Amino acid sequence: MKIGFLVIDMQAVHLQGVEAQMINNACEHINYVADLLRSNDHPVIHVQDIEGITEANRGEFDTISEIQIKDTDLILTKEYSNSFWKTELEQILRDRGVEVLIIAGNAAEHCVLFTYNGARERGFNTVILQNGILSKYQDVITATYRDRNLISHPVIKYMTNK
């Protein structure tokens, strides 16, 4: 079974107002899972929201340095909340045979949720990485964990070792 990992909008411009400790904790989980999946030949895709980018603010739209991006990772840009909308994401995942899609990143109430729903609508078995999503609002994270399918890193490790 091929697993895909989406890391959504981990960019300085989109993380303003999110507590540094929350960002560090999410980055630790995201990097661990990304390494685990890479080492088992599963695709890791970093999604960057470029809506509003200009030459003057281009640097703010880079993925933050705490997130490790490797040469084998893919980087996809988008301009809408749903990472599937008007992008090649669905084709990229289908070309790689992805059946299970793990989603992490920012913001739980916008791009994470919209992408989760977009993936489900396209038939992917979709889960949210526990401790891997961010929001300015803790209650949104709590609601996301309560209302969506979750996966923890020990389960991912078990799945990749089968």
pLDDT score at 161:
86
pLDDT score at 59:
86
pLDDT score at 118:
98
pLDDT score at 110:
95
Q: What is the CATH number of the domain that holds 134?
A: 3.40.50.850
In this prediction the pTM is 0.96
pLDDT score at 162:
66
Sole residue written with tokens 């895909």? 4
How far apart, in whole angstroms, are the C-alpha atoms of residue 100 and residue 93? 10
Q: Quick one: CA dihedral 146, 147, 153, 158, positive or negative?
A: positive
Sole residue written with tokens 């993925």? 63
Write the DSSP symbol of residue 64.
P
The HSE-up count of residue 23 (CA atoms within 13 Å, CB side) is: 17
Sole residue written with tokens 């929350």? 22
How far apart, in whole angstroms, are the C-alpha atoms of residue 60 and residue 54? 10
pLDDT in tens, the chain (162 residues): 999 999 999 999 999 999 999 999 999 999 999 999 999 999 999 999 999 899 999 988 999 999 999 999 999 999 999 999 999 999 999 999 999 999 999 999 999 999 999 999 999 999 999 999 999 999 999 999 999 999 999 999 999 986
For residue 44, give its domain range.
2-160
